[in-house]
């Protein structure tokens, strides 16, 4: 918990225009840790110019910004190479969904097929996998949201309804956590709450779980 609080403080200080050195001095946190927390939250040119540090500190911030742009360019280049692997076949999409389920899916309940995540794109892909690959009827799917007490439940339900193109009548009553949503990071990873997309069918659940067991047994035995 203390680490989460430190991270929130670091993000807040960064948004105020503080350098890595200043944040390190205030919070007593190593720069290597700050780098992991703040690498996607650069200072603006105006904030850099307002730094009260030495020339070297400003140069370091500008260097970090240059390296960030280089990394973005590198990632964009990799993204453009997606045509080498796309489009995926039905079999490949089935396997993609299986390994998503291995990491994020519900394993305990006998007939419940469910994936939970805070990332809207992952939930949207899950819906595609359910309907296009597993052939689950959209009208049979249920949506559950887990929200913080300071979130607007109606607003979040409407967000997910629009994102998934699913009517709100297929949403169960949201579960409201008694804690605050202020632990949201600067990317908004938890900004829309946690969403679970579910369907109940023993045969389909068995197909998913046995397919995963077969793969794991083949490669790990």
Q: Which of 36-45, 107-116, 122-131 has the lowest mean pLDDT?
A: 36-45
Do β-strands 175-177 and 142-148 pair in parallel, antiparallel, or remain unpaired? parallel
Radius of gyration, CA atoms only, the chain: 22
pTM of the model: 0.71
pLDDT at 200 over 80: yes
Report the 10 Å Cβ neighbour count for 9: 14
Write out the two tokens for 103. 């990491």
Using one digit for the tens of pLDDT, what is the confidence trace for 18-66? Answer: 778 788 778 888 877 877 777 777 766 666 666 655 666 666 667 677 7
Using one digit for the tens of pLDDT, what is the confidence trace for 132-170? Answer: 999 999 999 999 999 988 889 999 999 999 999 999 999
**DSSP percent split of the chain into helix, strand, coil, nearest 5:** 60, 10, 30
Domain ranges of the chain: 2-81, 90-220
* Cα–Cα dist 116/123, whole Å: 7
H-helix or E-strand spanning residue 112:
strand 112-117
Report the 10 Å Cβ neighbour count for 51: 18
């Amino acid at each position: 918990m203390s680490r989460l609080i430190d991270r929130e403080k670091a993000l807040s200080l960064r948004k105020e225009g503080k350098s890595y050195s200043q944040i390190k001095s205030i919070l007593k946190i190593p720069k290597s840790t700050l780098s992991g927390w703040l690498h996607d939250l650069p200072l603006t040119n105006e904030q850099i110019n307002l730094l009260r540090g030495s020339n070297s500190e400003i140069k370091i911030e500008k260097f970090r910004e240059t390296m960030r742009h280089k990394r973005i360019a590198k990632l964009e280049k990799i993204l453009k190479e997606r045509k080498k692997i796309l489009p995926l076949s039905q079999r490949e999409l089935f396997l993609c969904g299986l390994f998503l389920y291995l990491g994020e899916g519900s394993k305990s309940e006998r007939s419940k097929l469910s994936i939970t995540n805070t990332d809207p794109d992952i939930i949207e892909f899950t819906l595609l996998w359910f309907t296009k690959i597993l052939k689950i009827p959209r009208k049979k799917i249920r949506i559950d949201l887990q929200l913080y007490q300071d979130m607007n439940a109606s607003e979040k339900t409407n967000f997910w309804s629009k994102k998934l193109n699913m009517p709100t009548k297929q949403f169960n009553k949201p579960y409201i956590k008694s804690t605050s949503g202020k632990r949201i990071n600067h990317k908004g990873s938890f900004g829309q709450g946690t969403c679970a997309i579910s369907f109940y069918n023993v045969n389909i659940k068995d197909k998913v779980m046995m397919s995963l067991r077969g793969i794991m047994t083949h490669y790990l035995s």
